[in-house]
Amino acid sequence: MFYRRKIYIVKNEFVEFFNAHFNENNLPNQLKHGARLVGRWMIPNDETTTEIFAIWEYDSYEKYKEIEANVRSDQEHVSRVNEWFDKHGGRDYVFENYLLEVRNEELKSTLYN
């Protein structure tokens, strides 16, 4: 199995919009292409930001790469994401003002096989 953690540091005033976007656009597209969501959580980061993170499971790293390629090439999804960014000022504006950090990390088990 391959696990990844996707982390976002989000301005508090944008959390509701960001979570709605995940639930309405990103989650359905990921599931459609075979990703498995273990869970998604949020915790306060500081007075002005929240950390939001999801853990995803895949059969293998190769399967993860295949699913991600399919997700990113799904033109209906890409259009919905672009419309969402445009609604909130454009991709650059969102990343400069609301999504302050994004990390995509492999998780490694500490259990012995």
* CATH number, domain with residue 50: 3.30.70.100
pTM exceeds 0.85 for this model = yes
The answer to whether residue 17 sits within a structural domain is yes
Q: Is 60 helix (H, G, I), strand (E, B) or coil?
A: coil
The answer to whether residue 53 sits within a structural domain is yes
Query: How many CB atoms are located within 10 Å of the residue 81 CB?
Result: 17
The answer to whether residue 113 sits within a structural domain is no
The pLDDT assigned to 112 comes to 76
The pLDDT assigned to 113 comes to 62
The answer to whether residue 88 sits within a structural domain is yes
**For residue 34, what are the domain limits?**
2-107
Counting beta carbons within 10 angstroms of the beta carbon of residue 43, is it exposed (0 to 12), middle (13 to 18) or buried (19 or more)?
Answer: exposed
Give the pLDDT confidence of 55-113 residue by residue, as tens digits.
999 999 999 999 999 999 999 999 999 999 999 999 999 999 999 999 999 999 898 76
Which amino acid type is present at position 74?
D
The answer to whether residue 112 sits within a structural domain is no
Domain count, the chain: 1
The answer to whether residue 56 sits within a structural domain is yes
The answer to whether residue 61 sits within a structural domain is yes
